[in-house]
């Protein structure tokens, strides 16, 4: 079962990387990737917070190495995955996993991005520069991820595999 879980996690990383190459929209110095947020919600529901964070981290690493992402992929993806996983683990509601993704990425990660971008990217943008694009990206991705997670929860892919 562990091997199957790892393979499924690797598939989510691959979908996140491929999705970022085709589905994104520019948002200031950041690029918004709703597919990553959808994967965060699905991974939080299927695997929990730890694996969801690992999937977000590995997706960010591959995107940076392939030139399809920026360093903002780390706080944006990982904080949302953490909150989505924690909300689902505590309450067992898929919509709360989506809410955790939106709050984690759209609000908390956008605020973390200010000093992060200043130190690593040399930018001087304020918090309001990051909040709208992070929020819009995470909201659209969370809605998509919530719909897909509800469908997957009925099929239970880990058992079916």
- CA–CA–CA angle 141, 147, 153 (5° rounding): 125
User: Residue 126: pLDDT above 90?
Assistant: no
Confidence at 47, pLDDT banded by 50, 70, 90: very high
Query: Hey, what's the torsion of the CAs at 118, 122, 125, 130, to 10 degrees?
Result: -70
Average pLDDT over residues 34-61: 94
Using CA atoms, how far apart are residues 157 and 85, in angstroms rounded to an integer?
18
Q: Is the confidence at residue 69, as pLDDT, over 80?
A: no
pLDDT for residue 160: 53
Contacts of 69 (CB under 8 A, 6+ apart): 20, 31, 33, 60, 63
Phi, psi of 32 (to 5 degrees): -90, 130
pLDDT digits (tens, 9 = 90+) for 81-95: 999 999 999 999 999
Q: How confident is the model at residue 97 (pLDDT cuts 50, 70, 90)?
A: very high
* pLDDT band of 26, cuts 50, 70, 90: confident
Query: In this structure, are residues 32 and 89 in contact, taking their beta carbons and an 8 Å threshold?
Result: no
**pLDDT over 60 at 112, yes or no:** yes
């Amino acid at each position: 079962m562990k091997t199957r879980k790892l393979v499924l996690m690797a598939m989510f990383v691959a979908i996140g990387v491929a999705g970022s190459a085709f589905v994104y929209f520019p948002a200031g110095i950041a690029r918004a990737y709703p597919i990553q947020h959808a994967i965060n919600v699905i991974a939080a529901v299927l695997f929990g917070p730890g694996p969801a964070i690992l999937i977000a981290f590995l997706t960010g690493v591959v995107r940076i190495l392939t030139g399809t992402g920026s360093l903002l992929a780390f706080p944006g993806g990982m904080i949302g995955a953490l909150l989505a996983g924690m909300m689902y683990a505590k309450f067992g509601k898929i919509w709360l996993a989506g809410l955790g993704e939106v709050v984690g990425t759209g609000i908390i990660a956008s605020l973390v991005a200010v000093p992060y971008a200043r130190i690593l990217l040399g930018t001087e943008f304020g918090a309001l520069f990051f909040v709208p694009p992070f929020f819009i990206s995470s909201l659209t991705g969370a809605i998509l991820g919530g719909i897909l997670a509800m469908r997957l929860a009925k099929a239970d892919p880990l058992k079916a595999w």
